[in-house]
Amino acid sequence: METVFARVAALDVHKARLTACVRVPAAAGGREQLLAEFETTVPGLVVLRDWLEAHAVTHVAMEATGVYWQPVWHLLEDRFELTLCNARHVKQVPGRKTDVSDAAWLCQLMEAGLLRASFVPPKPQRTLRMLTRYRKTQIQERQREANRLQKTLEDTGIKLGCVASDVLGVSGRAMLEALVAGTSDPAVLAELARGRLRKRLPQLRQALQGRFEPQHALVIGAILAHLDFLDEQIELLSTAIEEQLAPFFPRRRQAGEHDARRESAQRRGADRRDRR
């Protein structure tokens, strides 16, 4: 195969170790191939980086194997031209010999310029994607926990959700916490209603009659604590995302948008309070 890149390396990455192959011009002419193994710990990857630099490698290729390639990429991306390739594409390239290791074959393909690179976002985008994806999972988990709360309430016979539009609103939360604390009198619980929900006190007294036993208090108390934790984490992640986005927007515009979002949130909160 024709040589497109003179000094190349390829990595066969696994969980605990990786195999590296380097192909460089030989002193006596032709090509020289070197193989070595390294640990995938940070110290091991530092040794790998130094080894590649010692051979004046310019281009490094690796297959996208699960998430194991990511720490290797993060440590090498500032020093080398990296190529992440799809394993399926590599297997489809004709000419592979059974006695050639994965790293050596990948290195030969890199040398000949036959690898098709997969897209790897730049560092800021990777950071933002990690934060937004994790925030999404926390929001989804919060919804699942709210559904568990509703199912548990159904088991008690309490129909708070049929009267209050938001069981986890100010009024609903106060009633739930009182139930967990041991208050069972529907009239007392109904008096915890706030805002427009107080117009529905007779319906609340009926809806709050149920079979609220100690196991229900234990489960609902745990759910409320978990919801508080998730709300805190979502807020922290939202703040971190805003900080990541700050360099991409003028300060004045970002401040205006933040104020608008805050005013919008305040209006939504006021609307919910009015509905209760």
The tens digit of pLDDT for each residue in 196-255 reads 999 999 999 999 999 999 999 999 999 999 999 999 999 999 999 999 988 877 664 555
Residues 6+ away with beta carbon under 8 Å from 97: 105
Q: What pLDDT does residue 171 have?
A: 94
**For a pLDDT cut of 90, what percent of the chain falls above it?**
67
Q: What pLDDT does residue 249 have?
A: 76
Q: What pLDDT does residue 19 have?
A: 93
**pLDDT grade for 257, boundaries at 50, 70 and 90:** low
**For a pLDDT cut of 70, what percent of the chain falls above it?**
86
Dihedral of CA 252/255/261/262: which sign?
A: negative
Q: Tell me which CATH code domain 8-111 carries.
A: 3.30.420.10
Q: What pLDDT does residue 246 have?
A: 86
**pLDDT grade for 275, boundaries at 50, 70 and 90:** very low
Q: What pLDDT does residue 276 have?
A: 47
Residues 6+ away with beta carbon under 8 Å from 15: 40, 68
Give the Cα separation of 157 and 211 in Å (integer). 6
Pairing state between β 81-85 and 59-63: parallel
* Average pLDDT value for the chain: 88
Question: Which single residue is written with the structure tokens 């950071």?
Answer: 127
Chain-centroid distance of CA 146 in Å reads: 21
Give the Cα separation of 135 and 107 in Å (integer). 38
Of residues 217 and 115, which shows the higher confidence score?
217
Residue 154 has pLDDT above 80, yes or no: yes
91-95, 125-129, 135-139: range with highest mean pLDDT = 135-139
Q: What pLDDT does residue 99 have?
A: 46
**pLDDT grade for 117, boundaries at 50, 70 and 90:** confident
**pLDDT grade for 134, boundaries at 50, 70 and 90:** very high
Q: What pLDDT does residue 256 have?
A: 55
Per-residue tokens: 146: 């709210």
Residue 113 has pLDDT above 80, yes or no: yes
**The whole model's pTM is what?**
0.74
Dihedral of CA 18/19/25/27: which sign?
A: positive
Residue 57 has pLDDT above 70, yes or no: yes
Q: In this structure, what is the dihedral angle of CA atoms 154, 159, 160, 166, given to the nearest 10 degrees?
A: 70
**pLDDT grade for 33, boundaries at 50, 70 and 90:** very high
55-69, 215-229, 257-271: range with highest mean pLDDT = 215-229
* Segments in the chain forming alpha helices (H): 42-54, 69-76, 87-92, 102-111, 123-156, 170-181, 186-190, 201-207, 214-245, 251-275
Q: What pLDDT does residue 252 have?
A: 47
